[in-house]
Amino acid sequence: MGKLVIIDGNAILHRAFHALPPLTTKSGEPINAVYGLVSMLIRVITDLKPTHITVCFDEKEKTFRQIELPTYQAQRPPMASDLSSQFAKARDFLTAANIPVYSKPGFEADDVIGTIATEAKNDVVIVTGDRDQLQLIDDKKNIKLYMPIAGLINAKLYSEAETVGRMGVPPTQIVDLKSLTGDPSDNYFGIVGIGPKTAITLLSRYKTIKGIYKNLDEIPEKLREKLIKGKKSADQSYMLATIVRNVPIDIDFEAMKDWKLDSPAVIKLFEEFGFKTLTARIKKVGEDIEKEKQGALF
């Protein structure tokens, strides 16, 4: 069966850019986010030992969420030019390492990740710093999240139990939770006056947002009034929070197992980037992988 690692390219590059000090190539171009992406990939390969790897990115076009709600994520500042300029270099590295990249105009990387994870026959680990993707965790399908928790140094593997510990609800109720509380980081707000504590209490009793509205007569008057008044916003928040799992993309799972982190193309690219330490590290990882393959033959 093997293990598929899906990396949220935007989330990891953003995190690396802000976690690492400025770093430039020999020609003076910023490169710290790419350095962080490679470092995280080395750690992922060492810790998780994937057989298959792919990376997903956002596209520049408006997503269906931004069309539905023009103010969706509108409060976020523009991406720093020192970061945006590194995305092409990140893709150059992934091409050199023969790691397939997926994205789809009109959708977020989250949706592409959700689609690949849903269709995969492998065990799946999603590498991201984005809490929205906790909804994708599924113990029965063996889909987990590997999330950095302190810069790029420490990371935690999340299953359903860890999700409940962090969010107060299991993965299957995260969208319902956000339909009630909203998500200020994405600039939508659920139902005014309902916070996480109240939302979790309601969901523990009625399981879903639909279950809550089917039983309004059981809910205290003041809270019931908030729910009735906020129904339209709750419905919209539910749609915005839901990760799409059927994005129309052609997925080649076989291509995801042909990665080679220490390929000659990667070594050459790292010389251009000035990645001396990372070059030594990826060569070591390549040697270790080769030894494991040889050991498996005997």
**Cα–Cα distance measured from residue 228 to residue 191, given in angstroms and rounded to the nearest whole number:** 9
* Entry pTM: 0.95
Whole-angstrom distance between the N-terminal and C-terminal Cα of the chain? Answer: 20
Q: How many CB atoms neighbour CB 271 within 10 A? A: 12
Look at residue 291 in the predicted model and tell me its pLDDT. 79
Which distant-in-sequence residues (6+ apart) come within 8 Å of 164 by Cβ? 170
Helix axes 276-296, 264-273, angle to 10 degrees: 160
- Burial label for 277, CB within 10 Å (0-12, 13-18, 19+), is exposed
SS3 156: strand
Look at residue 61 in the predicted model and tell me its pLDDT. 95
Residue ranges of the domains in the chain?
Answer: 3-167+244-290, 171-241
**Cα–Cα distance measured from residue 16 to residue 196, given in angstroms and rounded to the nearest whole number:** 29
CATH class of segment(s) 171-241: mainly alpha
Look at residue 149 in the predicted model and tell me its pLDDT. 81
**DSSP 8-state class, residue 115:** H
Look at residue 298 in the predicted model and tell me its pLDDT. 47
Sign, CA torsion 162/168/170/174: negative
Task: Choose among 114, 155, 217, 207: nearest CA to 16.
Answer: 155
Look at residue 292 in the predicted model and tell me its pLDDT. 77
Percent of the chain that is helix, strand, coil (3-state, to 5): 55, 10, 35
**DSSP 8-state class, residue 80:** P
**DSSP 8-state class, residue 274:** T
Note down pLDDT in tens along the chain; length 298 residues. Answer: 699 999 999 999 999 999 999 999 989 999 999 999 999 999 999 999 999 999 999 999 999 999 999 999 999 999 999 999 999 999 999 999 999 999 999 999 999 999 999 999 999 999 999 999 999 999 999 999 999 887 777 889 999 999 999 999 999 999 999 999 999 999 999 999 999 999 999 999 999 999 999 999 999 999 999 999 999 999 999 999 999 999 999 999 999 999 999 999 999 999 999 999 999 999 999 888 877 766 554 4
Q: How many CB atoms neighbour CB 27 within 10 A? A: 9
CATH architecture of 3-167+244-290: 3-Layer(aba) Sandwich (3.40)
